[in-house]
Amino acid sequence: MLKKLAFFILLTMVFNCKNENVSKENLTHNSSKEDYTQYVNPFIGTSKMGHVFPGATAPFGMVQLSPQTNFEVMHKEDGSYNSETYEYCAGYQYRDSTIIGFAHTNFSGTGHSDLGDFLVMPTTGDLVLDPLETYDGDKGFYSTFSHDNEEASAGYYKVDLDTYNIKAELTASERVGFHQYTFPKSDNAHVILDMVYNVYHHDNKNVWTFIRVENDTLVTGYRQTKGWARTKKVFFAMQFSKPFKSYGHKKYDEIKYDGFYKRFKQDENFPEMAGKDIRAYFNFDTKEDEKINIKFALSPVSTAGAMKNLKAEIPHWDFNKIKEETKEKWNKELSKIEAETLTEDDKITFYTAMYHTNLSPILYEDVDGQYRGLDQNIHQSDGFTNYTIFSLWDTYRALHPLFNITQPKRNNDMIKSMLAHHDESVHNMLPIWSHYANENWCMIGYHATSVIADAMAKNVGDFNYERALLASVNTANVSYFDGLGDYIDYKYVPDDLSHSSVSKTLEYAYNDWCIAQMAKQVGDASAEKEFMKRSEYYNNVYDPKIGYMRPKLSDGTFRKNFDPMDTHGQGFIEGNAWNYGLYVPQNIDKMVTMMGGKERFTQRLDSLFTMNIDEKYIAKHEDITRDGIIGNYVHGNEPGHHIPYLYNWTGHPEKTQSRVRMIMDTMYGSTVEGLCGNDDAGQMSAWYIFSSLGFYPVTPGSPDYALGSPLVKEAKIHLDNGKTLTIKANNQSKENVYVQSVSINGKKLENNLLSHQDIMKGGELIFEMSNQPKQ
């Protein structure tokens, strides 16, 4: 459960500090509108399992430049897994007191990590090139820091590096990180460029690194890693505001080269460095309070691409200008929903959630539209902007549906990026979990089909529907993919042939329904029929004798040893039959009937939220922690995110209403512990935004939202079509969680559903609230 007591004083201080700035800025930049960035606190969720980072980034920026705190290695010296590793998914844990540098790529809230490219660290004194500990056991180049001297806002991060008496400030445009280091007087100041560091690892993901010192202020290079993205390459161009007086590097791997290249000294002031694991350094003399700025551009294509990005996005050295411009970009995104909340804390939670829904997928192309494709060839984005980081098992649920309201143009580009991915895929598949021109195959299903079907159902975007259907059908027929061939043959995934057999069957069936919806829109009756048929395969893993979804073997019998509470090895992934088994979003009425009708289903939901779950069922899973659990319902992970809304289908919408308000109150908050589980690239936050507004996309691919209970008092959604939908919760209070009636533009909504079409018309959506369920 959320611990709201912590960090209050600190946050008050930080926000006070920020508010002062805001006032001044309002006068110059944003006089007509409220500054919503004042409600963003990037530290929310940086403690424990939120997996978000506090660093600086532009909305959906390729550069996400953030401090990396002092975590050592994924595997301990004895080879065992370090259980703390998972907490460091975004490189930062709030409890830490040391920083080892600032890395230019970070996932926001994902369930695994792979990034942390190009760690930059300014130091003074004797040069130390090891981050944690030197070979002789001396202190590494990390610095201590205090949260008292740390500050983070949308697009800006600041910290005092106490060990070196250096003030570090970061901001970023989409493709360029902008560092500002204020040094003390020193004739021995350094900027370290650590090409070894990775999130989770200090030394074992690199395939190759390459650095060129183009001149005394410009450095280029790239890194290739073999992590989650099996063949990942990121290129950079790094420009200093002041010439370095000397430089060098140290090679940490033990690779021996052939030939004679070592014939002359190449470790100092030799402008070409390469190897598996190298760390470079650049030396300076600094005056007291002298600022050294660094512009650090990334490219998925080449160092030439990084140079283009650098020149195009930040052609000057005005740090504050970029900081302000990026803040404005954030304000533009945040102000798409102008929310009035009951408390300041709620407003902070709301806008920080908004912030977190604008961090990924990220832009993944150079300013000229060139990007690296899944085939590792360089492509030109034609008629779209290319994005990457598709954590689709998470984000199809609410993040992409939210984009259909707040970011329709970007969602259109993201779908086009997925279609390009399909075309570049040797499998002819849409992305599963893809990042940086690689498919990492994480989690199950082919949920890109949901994102596409949802956009089609809501008439978002101008992507080609036939092409999208074909790509979806191709994807749904790749027989060697993760039990899919067996699913097609057996009409379910046999548990003896594939792990997570029930979860896969349920999600494939839902994805197939999505494809059927596309086929219907396109007018392909044959495909519609085929995939509607497949969408009913969930039936085949339901065991009416016990009333649960249950693993079935290839011989047609249900598996004998079966524990519906266990989240491990019971045919589900990151869930159990109790919570994951309630997954038939494409036909909730039928599921309710199948499972014994409305009353029994209501009781089952009640039990789910209130039962006591044994510790042994929790301890096994890093994605399921006590913080994110209500009974046997897991809000800290995704597969149950639709469940609180299912009461709407059992005749008890008031239970949905109280439950979602309870979840918003207890599973989210405005402190560093404000996320009860991985934000999962924005899905957790998107759930909060939708629920705060009073509705939720229980079935992406359908144009309808399930109504819940709004948290806001009022919210204006500024739609892309120029219209505004104003949501009003009359008689709103913390206690008044029950909805008496809902109307849109005077039309009463009767069946707990709100259509996307109605939202798009703008106008007023009015909830009448009460502290009693509607009679």
For residues 128 and 121, give the distance between their C-alpha atoms in angstroms, rounded to a whole number.
Answer: 11
For residues 696 and 690, give the distance between their C-alpha atoms in angstroms, rounded to a whole number.
Answer: 5
Among the listed residues 624, 626, 595, 591, the one whose alpha carbon sits nearest the alpha carbon of residue 612: 626
- Cβ of residue 538: shortest distance to a copy of itself, in angstroms? 21
**403 to each of 342, 411, 708, how far by Cα in Å?**
25, 6, 19
Judge whether 407 and 458 are in contact, CB under 8 Å.
Answer: no
- Cβ of residue 218: shortest distance to a copy of itself, in angstroms? 10
Closest to a copy of itself by CB, 226 vs 621, is 226
Question: Is the CA virtual torsion 533, 538, 539, 541 positive or negative?
Answer: positive
Q: How many helices (H) and strands (E) does the chain have?
A: 18, 37
- Cβ of residue 230: shortest distance to a copy of itself, in angstroms? 5
- Cβ of residue 258: shortest distance to a copy of itself, in angstroms? 5
Among the listed residues 500, 491, 488, the one whose alpha carbon sits nearest the alpha carbon of residue 581: 500
Q: Which residue reads 């109280």 in tokens?
A: 658
- Cβ of residue 255: shortest distance to a copy of itself, in angstroms? 6
Q: Is the peptide bond before 361 cis (omega within 30 degrees of 0)?
A: yes
Judge whether 433 and 440 are in contact, CB under 8 Å.
Answer: yes
Closest to a copy of itself by CB, 210 vs 562, is 210
3-state secondary structure of 283: strand
Among the listed residues 351, 381, 280, the one whose alpha carbon sits nearest the alpha carbon of residue 674: 351
Closest to a copy of itself by CB, 132 vs 497, is 497
Structure tokens at 772: 């009693």
For residues 352 and 331, give the distance between their C-alpha atoms in angstroms, rounded to a whole number.
Answer: 12
Instruction: Work out the number of other CB atoms within 10 angstroms of the CB of residue 231.
Output: 15
Question: Is the CA virtual torsion 226, 228, 233, 236 positive or negative?
Answer: negative
- Residues lying near a copy of itself in the complex (CB under 8 A): 74, 112, 114, 200, 205, 207-208, 210, 212-214, 220, 222, 224, 226-228, 230-231, 255, 257-261, 263-265, 269-272, 274, 276, 302-304, 375-378, 426-427, 439-443, 480-483, 498-499
Closest to a copy of itself by CB, 249 vs 655, is 249
The DSSP call for residue 588 is: H
Question: What are the φ and ψ backbone dihedral angles of 222, each rounded to 5 degrees?
Answer: -155, 165
- Cβ of residue 213: shortest distance to a copy of itself, in angstroms? 7
Closest to a copy of itself by CB, 681 vs 727, is 681
Closest to a copy of itself by CB, 113 vs 625, is 113
Closest to a copy of itself by CB, 224 vs 539, is 224
Closest to a copy of itself by CB, 210 vs 558, is 210
- Cβ of residue 212: shortest distance to a copy of itself, in angstroms? 5
- Cβ of residue 361: shortest distance to a copy of itself, in angstroms? 18
Closest to a copy of itself by CB, 75 vs 158, is 75
- Cβ of residue 74: shortest distance to a copy of itself, in angstroms? 8
